[in-house]
Amino acid sequence: MSDKNLKQRNEIPKEYKWNIEDMYPDESLWDKDVKECVERAEKFVQFQGKLTQSPAVLLDVLRERDAIWQKIEHAFVYAAMKKDEDNRIDKYQAMDDKCGSAIAKISAAMSFFTPELLEAPEEKILGFLASEPGLKEYEFLLKSMLKEKEHILSAPEENILAQMSEITGATNDVFKMLNNADLTFGTVVDEDGDEVPLTHGNYITFMESQDRSIRKAAFTNMYEAYKKLINTIATNYNYNTKTDVVSARIRKYDSSLNAALDGNNIPTSVYHNLIKEVHDYLPVVHRYMELRKKVLGVDQLKMYDVYVPLINLPKKDIKFEEAVEIMAEGLAPLGSEYIEQVRKGVQSGWIDVYENQGKTSGAYSFGSYDSMPYILLNYTNTLKDVFTIVHEMGHSMHSYYTRKTQPYIYGDHSIFTAEVASTVNESLLIRHLLKTEKDPEMRKYLLNYYIEEFRTTLFRQTMFAEFELLAHEEIEKGGVLTAQWLSETYGRLNSQYFGPAMAEDDYIKYEWARIPHFYRGFYVYQYATGYSAATAISSKILSEGEEARNNYIEFLKSGSSDYPVELLKIAGVDMASPEPVKMAMETFKNLVDELEKLL
């Protein structure tokens, strides 16, 4: 659907919009909060030189620090989400920018806190913890900070870095503008014979078309656009990666990988084990590609043949209300309390359901510690959209349980654990559908869908992770990420992951240039580890019942109150071991085995 055919925001019925007014019934309160936070941050400097004067002073400082961040986060979330409702509205663009500037000022004003705290002898901080009961809440935070002591700079140096934060993110901003504003992809003639502008939003829809010429046209248009700007994008990504490497060196880390993982106390072996275990199962992916080639009946399997479903089912229109019922049935193993809260969330305005002109594309779960755990959707009545609701509801229920149980300082999640909560939901839904489906064709479709989830999440994200690792290592040994180096490296990895059934391709080597997540170093591997952990946890819930479910709910309540690997042990999964990845790989292998037999 082209943007001009979309409804305006005010044409969407209220029951399908999130209740964001709950955050700020009067927007003058938003201005008041932002102003107050900046003023309180400016006064916060009165604590400089006094942090470790006594346990009581340290407790007061920690509470004031939390209060400022809790309030500015609330304001930031509101502005960002209002902007996402309709990105064309200048007012909310300005509010979003104002919040970004306020956060930079607050960060700079408070930048003395960590270095000053860590100048104190460790024994002194531990003594404070023992003598002041109020500091018990901050024990994990303080001990985590002490662990990072060798990587914290002096107060003036930290202040400089805080002020530089608005500049160091420039490569990401440049890419966003290129990717979302400047790049155009031409038009594609769709199955109805209409000439439709190709966008990020409809690209996958075209790639799932049963008409191969449409897939090829969309694929060619997309990568021709990136090819034309490949040197500019390569230069931008080169400096983005250099920023990671230089930042790691400034903070005295052995490598940029170590710097990215150390904050969450994740051993680098987790990253390397993921790549190794996935490599061991690449022959199964290659078998699946051979099967895809056979079923599609093509002489040469091309990259634009990868997303089209192998089973062509008639389109089923799934209304939003029906999707909610499917979700409730699929998530029933999580218990009546979980389902009841899901339904309450839908009814009380957690979800912004339909697309409108100017609305941000895609889907996400967001919110502040003090708000509802909101969900942005662009629902189009497909089965894939049902999975999207279930995925985002996993995030939102994780936030709901965490914020209900944990104090503000532990009220968030690392991506390492967040992706588990969303993917457990998806895993439970697909297993429910496979268990209850009677139609043999639909079962084949669901098997293919589940296999594709593994391929695009576990295998694809691991390939991305391997590419990121190679790129950072190239910079660390003094190399330069030229367009040629990046494209050849990516092309080589793509051939390794897809195997001999995939024909050589002139365009796929440019795919690295369109991946936004590469501008947040060593981020994507967590999708793959999260998928592995979620596969293991959902299996435990279905096979072990109440005890496994209760352990999982306890995990959802834990927020960031411990390191991610430790938190996942609550749910019965040890990600420091390669076992969860192996278990996920075996599930993938069994799915491919079954689909091969059925086809």
CA distances from 459 to 287, 446, 496, 565 (A): 14, 19, 11, 21
Q: What is the 3-state secondary structure (H, E, C) of 517-580?
A: HHHCCCCCHHHHHHHHHHHHHHHHHHHHCHHHHHHHHHHHCCCCCCCHHHHHHHCCCCCCCCHH
Q: Which two tokens stand for residue 283?
A: 């022959």
Which residues, at least 6 apart from 320, have a Cβ–Cβ distance to it below 8 Å?
Answer: 16, 353, 379, 381
Integer Cα distance of 566 and 572 in angstroms? 10
Helical (H) or strand (E) element with 161: helix 155-168
- Residue showing tokens 């609305």: 359
Q: Which two tokens stand for residue 528?
A: 């793959």
Which residues, at least 6 apart from 27, have a Cβ–Cβ distance to it below 8 Å?
Answer: none
Integer Cα distance of 39 and 64 in angstroms? 12
Which residues, at least 6 apart from 21, have a Cβ–Cβ distance to it below 8 Å?
Answer: none
* Selected catalytic residue, list 392, 468, 476, 511: 392
Which residues, at least 6 apart from 142, have a Cβ–Cβ distance to it below 8 Å?
Answer: 117, 125, 129, 135
Q: How many Cβ atoms sit within 10 Å of the Cβ of residue 23?
A: 22
Integer Cα distance of 42 and 110 in angstroms? 8
* Residue 317 DSSP code: -
8 Å CB contact between 110 and 44? yes
Q: How many Cβ atoms sit within 10 Å of the Cβ of residue 421?
A: 28
> Where does 256-412 show beta strands of DSSP type E?
351-352, 364-366, 374-376
8 Å CB contact between 361 and 369? no
**Which phi and psi (to 5°) does residue 502 adopt?**
-85, 125
CA 364-366-368 angle, to 5 degrees, is: 175
- Residue showing tokens 């960060």: 107
8 Å CB contact between 343 and 328? yes
Q: Which two tokens stand for residue 415?
A: 């991506």
443, 467, 448, 461: which is closest to 588 by C-alpha? 448
8 Å CB contact between 352 and 375? yes
**Which phi and psi (to 5°) does residue 564 adopt?**
-55, -45
**Which phi and psi (to 5°) does residue 199 adopt?**
-135, 170
**Annotated catalytic residue 426:** no
Integer Cα distance of 533 and 423 in angstroms? 9
CA distances from 523 to 179, 392, 518 (A): 19, 18, 8
Integer Cα distance of 375 and 353 in angstroms? 8
8 Å CB contact between 12 and 347? no
8 Å CB contact between 391 and 342? no
Catalytic positions, please?
A: 392
